[in-house]
Amino acid sequence: MKLASTLTFAATLALGLLNGCTRHQPPATSDLINTDATLHGQLPYPILSWTPLVVTVDRTMGTTSTLFTDGTSRALVTWSQREDPHWFGARIPGAPQRVELVDPTNGTHQYRVFSGSPLTEQTVSGDPTERIVAIAAMQQIELP
Protein backbone atom coordinates (compact mmCIF):
# COMPACT_ATOMS: atom_id res chain seq x y z
CA MET A 1 0.00 0.00 0.00
CA LYS A 2 3.02 2.26 0.51
CA LEU A 3 3.70 2.06 -3.25
CA ALA A 4 0.07 2.90 -3.91
CA SER A 5 0.24 5.93 -1.62
CA THR A 6 3.41 7.18 -3.27
CA LEU A 7 2.01 6.79 -6.76
CA THR A 8 -1.29 8.39 -5.72
CA PHE A 9 0.62 11.35 -4.33
CA ALA A 10 2.65 11.64 -7.55
CA ALA A 11 -0.44 11.49 -9.73
CA THR A 12 -2.28 14.02 -7.55
CA LEU A 13 0.73 16.33 -7.75
CA ALA A 14 0.76 16.03 -11.52
CA LEU A 15 -2.94 16.86 -11.75
CA GLY A 16 -2.45 19.70 -9.29
CA LEU A 17 0.30 21.18 -11.44
CA LEU A 18 -1.89 20.76 -14.50
CA ASN A 19 -4.66 22.60 -12.69
CA GLY A 20 -2.25 25.23 -11.40
CA CYS A 21 -1.27 26.15 -14.95
CA THR A 22 -4.82 27.20 -15.70
CA ARG A 23 -5.54 29.15 -12.49
CA HIS A 24 -6.99 32.59 -12.91
CA GLN A 25 -5.60 35.91 -11.77
CA PRO A 26 -5.95 37.14 -8.17
CA PRO A 27 -9.38 38.67 -7.53
CA ALA A 28 -9.97 42.33 -8.38
CA THR A 29 -10.40 44.77 -5.50
CA SER A 30 -14.08 45.08 -6.40
CA ASP A 31 -14.44 41.35 -5.78
CA LEU A 32 -12.71 41.55 -2.39
CA ILE A 33 -14.37 44.72 -1.07
CA ASN A 34 -17.93 45.74 -1.87
CA THR A 35 -16.99 49.02 -3.56
CA ASP A 36 -20.49 49.38 -5.03
CA ALA A 37 -21.74 50.10 -1.49
CA THR A 38 -19.30 52.91 -0.67
CA LEU A 39 -20.90 55.78 1.24
CA HIS A 40 -19.49 58.56 -0.91
CA GLY A 41 -20.34 62.04 0.24
CA GLN A 42 -20.15 64.39 3.16
CA LEU A 43 -21.75 62.66 6.09
CA PRO A 44 -21.26 64.41 9.43
CA TYR A 45 -20.33 61.21 11.28
CA PRO A 46 -18.29 58.05 10.60
CA ILE A 47 -21.45 55.96 10.72
CA LEU A 48 -19.86 52.65 9.73
CA SER A 49 -17.72 52.98 12.87
CA TRP A 50 -20.81 53.12 15.03
CA THR A 51 -22.38 50.03 16.56
CA PRO A 52 -24.67 48.17 14.14
CA LEU A 53 -27.97 47.31 15.81
CA VAL A 54 -30.22 45.58 13.30
CA VAL A 55 -30.77 44.77 9.61
CA THR A 56 -34.02 45.00 7.64
CA VAL A 57 -35.01 44.35 4.03
CA ASP A 58 -37.73 45.79 1.82
CA ARG A 59 -38.42 43.26 -0.95
CA THR A 60 -40.74 45.62 -2.83
CA MET A 61 -38.15 48.36 -2.99
CA GLY A 62 -35.21 45.96 -3.31
CA THR A 63 -33.38 47.64 -0.47
CA THR A 64 -31.62 46.65 2.74
CA SER A 65 -31.14 48.93 5.72
CA THR A 66 -28.85 48.79 8.72
CA LEU A 67 -29.42 50.79 11.88
CA PHE A 68 -26.38 52.18 13.71
CA THR A 69 -25.88 54.09 16.93
CA ASP A 70 -23.04 55.89 18.67
CA GLY A 71 -24.96 55.62 21.92
CA THR A 72 -26.79 58.91 21.43
CA SER A 73 -27.78 59.32 17.80
CA ARG A 74 -29.21 56.79 15.40
CA ALA A 75 -28.43 56.44 11.70
CA LEU A 76 -30.38 54.28 9.27
CA VAL A 77 -28.36 53.52 6.14
CA THR A 78 -30.31 52.14 3.17
CA TRP A 79 -28.68 50.48 0.21
CA SER A 80 -30.24 48.96 -2.89
CA GLN A 81 -29.62 45.22 -2.89
CA ARG A 82 -27.37 43.33 -5.27
CA GLU A 83 -26.88 39.63 -5.79
CA ASP A 84 -23.99 38.25 -3.78
CA PRO A 85 -21.45 37.19 -6.42
CA HIS A 86 -20.05 34.61 -4.01
CA TRP A 87 -23.24 32.89 -2.89
CA PHE A 88 -26.32 32.08 -4.92
CA GLY A 89 -29.32 32.67 -2.67
CA ALA A 90 -27.87 35.73 -0.94
CA ARG A 91 -28.18 39.47 -1.48
CA ILE A 92 -25.81 42.09 -0.16
CA PRO A 93 -25.76 45.91 -0.07
CA GLY A 94 -25.37 47.61 -3.44
CA ALA A 95 -25.50 51.32 -4.21
CA PRO A 96 -26.37 53.58 -1.24
CA GLN A 97 -29.86 55.06 -1.42
CA ARG A 98 -30.03 57.31 1.62
CA VAL A 99 -28.80 57.90 5.14
CA GLU A 100 -31.26 59.08 7.77
CA LEU A 101 -29.93 60.63 10.98
CA VAL A 102 -31.88 61.15 14.17
CA ASP A 103 -30.06 63.36 16.68
CA PRO A 104 -31.53 64.17 20.07
CA THR A 105 -31.20 67.89 20.68
CA ASN A 106 -32.75 69.93 23.48
CA GLY A 107 -35.35 67.32 24.28
CA THR A 108 -36.47 66.93 20.68
CA HIS A 109 -35.15 64.91 17.75
CA GLN A 110 -33.48 66.45 14.76
CA TYR A 111 -34.04 64.51 11.54
CA ARG A 112 -31.62 64.81 8.63
CA VAL A 113 -31.53 62.87 5.41
CA PHE A 114 -28.75 62.40 2.87
CA SER A 115 -29.27 60.92 -0.58
CA GLY A 116 -27.98 61.05 -4.12
CA SER A 117 -24.53 60.20 -5.38
CA PRO A 118 -22.47 61.45 -3.70
CA LEU A 119 -24.68 61.47 -0.61
CA THR A 120 -25.79 65.05 -0.04
CA GLU A 121 -27.99 66.50 2.68
CA GLN A 122 -31.51 67.11 1.44
CA THR A 123 -34.08 69.59 2.63
CA VAL A 124 -36.63 67.70 4.67
CA SER A 125 -40.02 68.38 3.23
CA GLY A 126 -43.04 67.76 5.39
CA ASP A 127 -43.26 66.46 8.91
CA PRO A 128 -40.47 63.99 9.72
CA THR A 129 -42.17 62.74 12.87
CA GLU A 130 -43.25 59.49 11.26
CA ARG A 131 -39.67 58.67 10.26
CA ILE A 132 -38.28 59.69 13.65
CA VAL A 133 -40.78 57.45 15.42
CA ALA A 134 -40.11 54.54 13.03
CA ILE A 135 -36.34 54.76 13.47
CA ALA A 136 -36.62 55.18 17.24
CA ALA A 137 -38.89 52.14 17.40
CA MET A 138 -36.50 49.80 15.62
CA GLN A 139 -35.42 47.05 17.97
CA GLN A 140 -31.82 45.93 18.02
CA ILE A 141 -30.96 42.27 17.60
CA GLU A 142 -30.92 40.66 21.01
CA LEU A 143 -27.54 38.98 21.24
CA PRO A 144 -26.75 36.36 23.85
Distance of CA 128 to the CA centre of its chain: 25
Should residue 108 be labelled a site residue for another protein when binding is judged by CB under 8 A? no
Residues composing the chain: 144
Least separation, in Å, of the C-beta of 95 and another protein? 12
C-beta atoms surrounding 79 within 10 Å? 22
Nearest distance, CB of residue 110 and another protein, angstroms: 18
Query: Tell me, what DSSP letter sits at residue 42?
Result: -
Is residue 51 near another protein by the rule CB under 8 A? Answer: yes
27 interacts with another protein by CB under 8 A = yes
- How many residues of this chain interact with another protein, rule: CB under 8 A? 65
Q: Which is nearer to another protein, 63 or 109 (CB)?
A: 63
Closer by beta carbon to another protein, 87 or else 127: 87
Angle at CA of residue 130, ends 124 and 43, nearest 5°: 45
**CA trace torsion 78, 56, 143, 135 (10° rounding):** 70
Q: How far is CA 127 from the centre of its chain?
A: 29
Q: Does 33 bind another protein (CB under 8 A)?
A: yes
Binding of another protein by 134 (CB under 8 A): no
H or E element at residue 12: helix 2-21
Q: Is 18 in the site for another protein (CB under 8 A)?
A: yes
How far apart are alpha carbons 62 and 144 in whole angstroms?
30
Which spans of this chain sit near another protein (rule: CB under 8 A)? 1, 3-4, 7-8, 10-12, 15-16, 18-19, 22, 24, 26-27, 29, 31-35, 37-43, 46-52, 54-61, 64, 66, 68, 81, 84-93, 118-119, 139, 141-144
